[in-house]
Structure 1
């Protein structure tokens, strides 16, 4: 069912235009807000003087859970999505489902359901629940309670929250397609440091962001853009203070003059600030955190397959809390129903190492050392244009992107029923909703667009292949046989050959499937459990490869 996207919210797609070509990616992102608002304080910390940063800094909004709203039930929904959903969703076999929580008389513990008892339970945790007293502040918990009171709980992917910062539909504005010929300027560092590799950004009235990078002399040049009023800012200012100018008039090769940046600190050691850490990449945070090469390599091996490292490091748990979380991540498969594949009591040296290390570096009493950042891009690496698009819904948990013959970018959503396509010339999205499968978590994994423009989309929780006709919105579904239960991951990655057959690699075999009925046409043995991706080369050969770093097999037939 197609849906037009009116005033709804972001995540981000990144349109990278190099001199040699154009590459498109979709990635998660945060909303764009006009006015700066104070973010919640860190748990147990005084107000951070560096926290009043540019409110367009999406990474800080992600860390502060202000990606749906600045406060109240909307912010509580984001906290629930990141902190509660994993164990309390309606498909899980673990924690109780929290819908209509305040209409109940008692908690599972037997205590009456009150504001105080709910807050106390969140802070203290329990035998199977981490204690959030060091991760969530009183403000966080109040917003979470507001979400429980709102009647909208709980996040199940059927209706993700709208984001008012998706403006491409209402503020129609052409997106640039060139690489140069637009506004120019120069960045200077007051301390005399090299200005090379600084990202300078223009934000258009439709919310689309275009970033270019300075050369060795600090000069930058934007693509030729639609004449109008933009916001000029430094995309990721660290180690410098934020810089932003609103209502900047752009018309062809406008001269923007000089941008003078000031360092946050006099040395390369930056204050251990949440606002600054939010601007660091996961690799930079890992580099800054204490630990041995073995500890960090073990973390990289086990915690890289599904989410960013920032999702881990923004938490503070005691050893009991980390033991539960690492056990859930390492010893279960699946997202919703969580099928245990290793007993918690089984000896696991890597599990024990990670729990001890995370407790030491991200425990309630741990203290961060001054931060340092990686070197900025240099030379040829600065010759890039990055364009970010707002998506029409929030909390989509984007998974894959695909291109069709018209140049539209398709996205899949790992935890909702929504899929869609974006016109990169306008940033306007057209969305489609897939039929819900009773008792099964909605969510899509991979997409392939065939030569006729039909979108083929996998649902790895429902073990289904969807055939979506973009012209009519008609969806046809076929079940793909699996030896795992529904709501556990199965049919996800696949590819199409020139004749339209589906190729998949799971359960120690490569399978060629008929897309009209999901039936097996032919099978080949596979020496590893699965291939995380599949491809058919131009000469008709099948290729497969592994995913997370602990594997490493490739296949060719």
Structure 2
């Protein structure tokens, strides 16, 4: 081991489940380990190079009393105990899910509050001190922010007119005014945090890579065919690649198609030929292919009659035996199928029996509406989509184009990102229900599993080579690992607060699979390595 020691406090003595992070003075890579049942932490040999490191911890209710730095010398092990103290301000350590379990309110009120997490931590909301009237002004402004927005970089829409005050908005404003801060660091309710990791959940190493470009918002981070980690930016027209060995990063900028609209992306995926596919999201219904060898972009755009001002083509599905590419327009509720050989694009209405409004859906959490989100394809080429608004899994027959909807067992579940495994089992996060779902494409039945943490907000899903299924969410900074055979969940805590996770990917090159995570709101990419 390179660096080791014991973590303790006056209140608890030795402390299990404390995350200890080491970040070099020079460099963009930080490594984190977790203290065990004896309070001991240890960085394995080879994880920390020679140089000075700043140490930090994550443990709800505790802090280091002063800055802690160590010097690592080649060939030597360094012993460094950490004595923690109670923090006077736990609000600065709370995830959005911890705010939700602490604040009073009905399920409906908290569901509304939960949606604010898309753009910023709920600590931003509850740390404010507004009257009911002031909250109405704030809510009207926030409702015009587009999904890539953050509190540091808001993006307003020009496609929607200003919204009028509604009874729902007024009632929500009253709720927020009743639970926001009475004065700085004082709330009308007690603040609670989740328990620290224990047992097997402490046996993990997390490596975080900080991206170099200012205001980077990596939405997805995936393992490329070359073993490097590829990512896309949520706000800006960039894709990039990270070398995990050196931490070096390279980026490419895509051409802007609609100067007035946000130019970032939701998805990046690789085909069997090693080429990356990027749907252009708010740049319209265009899908772009990137060749890492030639560094050239090739794009295909749907027929102009489908490519309107509200088009949001954000997701792509690869792997059909025909070589055709599925992609979707979330707001206009269509799926498309591209033949890259001749450029022909077929259009499918995702909800042919639905005659409600088209364009931007303002209330996602409403089973009377429909809206496509994540998509997938099975081994025979059939297309699938998540109906985030209606709580359904949709299937489009590859031969006939017929659409069938399968409701999730939990109503209003909010299915989001999807992953088709090698057995044609479709895994997905149920973001509103905080569950993990699986649609068996053979039996057409859906199963659900629920993590033990409230407001888990399961968003993506991926299955590793050992058969475990991984998910995460925007609200907890936890990565969840399900054993489908036993139904047992494990969870691993990230060291960075407010990561806002929307995608996980499995790297099966090692004997124990590692999971890669994009920390959208923190401009980082993390590697989670269970040690068993």
Classify the TM-score, shorter chain: 0.5 to 0.7
1:352 aligns with 2:166: no
Q: Is there any run of 5+ residues in structure 2 with no aligned partner, and where?
A: 148-154, 354-368, 397-532
CA contact (8 A) 1:333 1:341 kept: no
Partner of 1:377: 197
Counterpart of 1:297?
A: 111
Higher relative contact order (CA 8 A, sep 6+): 1
Counterparts of 1:516 and 1:280, CA distance in 2: 51
Quote the Cα distance in structure 2 between the aligned partners of 1:192 and 1:388: 29
Q: Aligned equivalents of 2:219 and 2:208: distance in 1?
A: 17
**What TM-score does the superposition give when structure 2 sets the normalisation length?**
0.60
| Secondary structure of the corresponding residue to residue 303 of structure 1 | helix
Q: Partner residue of 1:214?
A: 35
1:455 has 2:268 as partner: no
How far off is 1:333 after superposition? 6.7
SS, match of residue 246 in structure 2 = coil
Contact preservation (8 Å) 1:203, 1:210: yes
Paired with 1:453 and 1:444, the residues of 2 have a C-alpha distance of 19
Displacement of 1:536 in angstroms is: 2.3
1:544 aligns with 2:365: no
Match of 1:511 among 336, 347, 352: 336
Distance 1:503 1:363 in 2: 47
SS at match of 2:314: coil
Structure 1: segments with no counterpart, 5+ residues: 1-180, 265-270
> What per-residue deviation string (whole Å, max 9, x for no partner) do you get for residues 91-147 of structure 1?
xxxxxxxxxxxxxxxxxxxxxxxxxxxxxxxxxxxxxxxxxxxxxxxxxxxxxxxxx
Answer 1 or 2: which has greater helix percent: 1
The one-character-per-residue Cα deviations of 1:4-40 (angstroms, maximum 9, x if unpaired) are xxxxxxxxxxxxxxxxxxxxxxxxxxxxxxxxxxxxx
User: Structure 1 287/459 Cα, relative in aligned 2: closer, same or farther at 3 Å?
Assistant: same
Report how far residue 228 of structure 1 moved: 0.6
* 3-state SS in 2 of match to 1:339: coil
- Structure 1 residue 491, shift from structure 2 partner: 0.6
Q: Once the 2 structures are TM-superposed, how far is the Cα of residue 389 of structure 1 from its aligned partner?
A: 0.5
2:207 paired with 1:387: yes
- Paired positions, count: 362
Residue in structure 2 matching 1:233, options 55, 74, 77: 55
Tell me by how many angstroms 1:355 deviates. Answer: 1.3
Residue from 390, 393, 406 that aligns with 1:554: 393
The alpha-carbon distance between structure 1 residues 510 and 283, as it changes in their structure 2 partners (threshold 3 A), is same
Shift of 1:313: 3.6
Which position in structure 1 is the counterpart of 2:10? 190
TM-score, length basis structure 1: 0.58
Q: How does 1:166-177 map to 2 (within 5 A)?
A: none
Structure number with higher strand proportion: 2
Question: CA distance change for structure 1 residues 343 and 184 in 2, over 3 Å: closer, same or farther?
Answer: closer
1:422–1:355 Cα change, 3 Å: same
The residue that corresponds to 1:475 in the other structure is 297
1:424 Cα deviation (Å)? 1.3
Distance 1:502 1:365, change over 3 A: same
1:319 equivalent in alignment to 2:132: yes
Give the SS at the match of 2:372.
Answer: coil
Aligned counterparts of 1:310 and 1:517: Cα–Cα separation in 2: 51
**2:313 counterpart SS class:** coil
Distance in 2 between the 1:185 and 1:196 partners?
Answer: 12
Q: 1:244 to 1:364 in 2, by over 3 A?
A: closer
Give, in whole Å, the separation in 2 of the partners of 1:394 and 1:497: 35
Q: Does 1:261 align with 2:261?
A: no
- Asked whether the equivalents of residues 478 and 517 of structure 1 are also in contact (C-alpha less than 8 Å), the reply is no
Of residues 223, 245, 269, the one that matches 1:425 is 245
Please say if residues 478 and 516 of structure 1, whose CA atoms lie closer than 8 Å, have aligned partners that are also in contact: no
Q: Please state how far the C-alpha of 1:318 moved relative to its aligned partner.
A: 3.6
Provide closer, same or farther for how the CA distance between residues 539 and 500 of structure 1 changes in structure 2, counting only shifts above 3 A.
closer
Distance 1:329 1:504, change over 3 A: farther
Deviations 1:507-552 (A, max 9, x none): 34433223467642363643673321112245544332244xx542
Q: Which protein has the larger Cα radius of gyration, Structure 1 or Structure 2?
A: 1
Structure 1 residue 374: deviation in Å?
1.8
2:92 to 278, 284, 288: 278
* Selected match of 2:222 from 402, 406, 410: 402
